[in-house]
Amino acid sequence: MIELKDVSYAYRVTDADGNVQMRPALKKTSLSIRAGEFVVLTGGSGCGKTTVCRLLNGLIPHYFEGELEGEVLLDGANVAAQPIYETAKRVGSVFQNPRSQFFNVDTTSELAFAAENQGRDPERIRRDIAVAAERLGLEPLLRRSMFALSGGEKQKIACGSVAVADSDVVVLDEPSSNLDVEGIEALRATLVLWKEQGKTVVIAEHRLFFLKGIADRVLVFRDGEVVRSLDAVAFAMLTPEECVGMGLRATDLNSVAFPAHSIDESPVVILKDVSFHYTKESGMDIPSLSLPQGQITVVIGRNGAGKSTLARALCGLNRRAKGSVVLGGETIPLSRMLSRCYLVMQDVNHQLFTDSALEEVRISVPETVPEKLREEKAREALRLVGMEEFSEQHPMALSGGQKQRVAIASAIAANKEILIFDEPTSGLDYVHMRQTADALQALRDLGKTILVITHDVELIALCADNVVRMDDGRIAESYCVNVENVPRLVSFFLNQPAQQPAVAVTT
């Protein structure tokens, strides 16, 4: 039994001047979770669901600084009063950013790490790793360098390490955020297994479609409070309109509505003989690819298909990448593309450097902009993504979704010709996903060529003009998002043969 009794929590953060501020995250929250219950926490970014996860695994108050009122009880024991290693024996965690929970440089050692710390027999650990690898589809990832994994592959390893540890309670914070369709199916299978094994599962999620049929209860948070509690039946019966009204993602991908698109003869950006290889067996080879100029093209594909490698090569960040880009009739070597492109990385922590969100965006404003206008441009970009009220906050004190929006604002402010976004809506709720889509469309209307790497069919429906699908480091297909092509796009995300699904196409 897990109990929260009148729990309030506020994070201790600092502003750009180093002044301490308290940022409320949870307000007088009381709830009970029965042993073996599967509970979903959802709601807008920054609504308090991640804070609940941190309370359950002991990171609050043992790691994060702040003010805690009330009690968090795990089978009667006060989590705040006992050492965090005692809580860790019972509670396994998967963080929103899996990189922050890794301790080893290779995948197999990472899978064994938590079990080794429990003093488990080495032979049993090896057996448990084999079982977890089979159930989660991790065999291709065993004995790999952690530094060679994509974001989605890292997420799979994080889930696998919890499976090997075999905790009674499992707490997951946005575990599907960087997973492809097969990864989500593997995650769902693992969640079903844990539920059948009688484990207590608490999962904070924006993506809801894969949780139908396994969630016992869904708690909707807003501004640090539970505003609605849905049982399994009520959750399954939610309509698309009700989801939008609560600011929630779709519970059924077949209900996602696509606008009609027409094919036009836009100028194109041409990639020629682009290649990059990590080893002889893995890498990327693209003899030719045309991207419509001044449009939004999404790149889809399984985890490890080469999407992020393409993005880094196109931006000139992979110095060993070969090839060139034809832009406006000019042939440009990849090594010189950094001055023409801006990339928002999959892990935005890699590109947050300053002590305030405003300054973070301000440094991206081109030097040609007069000094007196630079702050105005930065604030305008923050306003576009709904982050102006956090302008004085330290970027690393923000939630994952808020960090993502600061990075997107930086891309807007940079005003480059080609803007590339690697998973820009991972960790975002419906409202901020729609806000991101609106920002991308505004950039497109300004004539920017936009490339978006995503596993998010809802984002594609909101703003995409074209689709490029990658597979094994190569271009598998490329097409316009129009009435004829929507079925094969949606069937890819549903992981089923192309057919005419019940997908609305609006005109």
Give the global pTM: 0.81
Closest to 314 measured CA to CA, from 295, 288, 338: 338
- Give bridge partners of residue 297 from the DSSP assignment: 451, 466
pLDDT at 503: 45
- CA-based R_g, the chain, Å: 23
Q: Are 422 and 346 in contact (CB under 8 A)?
A: yes
Residue pLDDT, tens place only, 34-65: 999 999 999 987 889 999 999 999 999 999 98
Secondary structure of residue 266 in the 3-state scheme: coil
Query: How many Å apart are CA 141 and CA 150, to the nearest integer?
Result: 11
pLDDT digits (tens, 9 = 90+) for 465-488: 999 999 999 999 999 998 888 888
Which CATH number fits the domain 2-12+21-252, given the four candidates 3.10.180.10, 3.40.140.10, 3.40.50.300, 3.40.50.720? Answer: 3.40.50.300
**DSSP string covering 136-197:** HT-GGGTT-BGGG--HHHHHHHHHHHHHHHT-SEEEEESTTTT--HHHHHHHHHHHHHHHHT
Residues of the chain with CATH 3.40.50.300: 2-12+21-252, 268-494
Q: What is the pLDDT of residues 109-118, one digit of tens each?
A: 999 998 998 8
CATH class of 268-494: alpha beta
Whether residue 198 contacts residue 214, with contact meaning beta carbons closer than 8 Å, is answered with no
Which stretches of the chain score pLDDT less than 50?
498-507
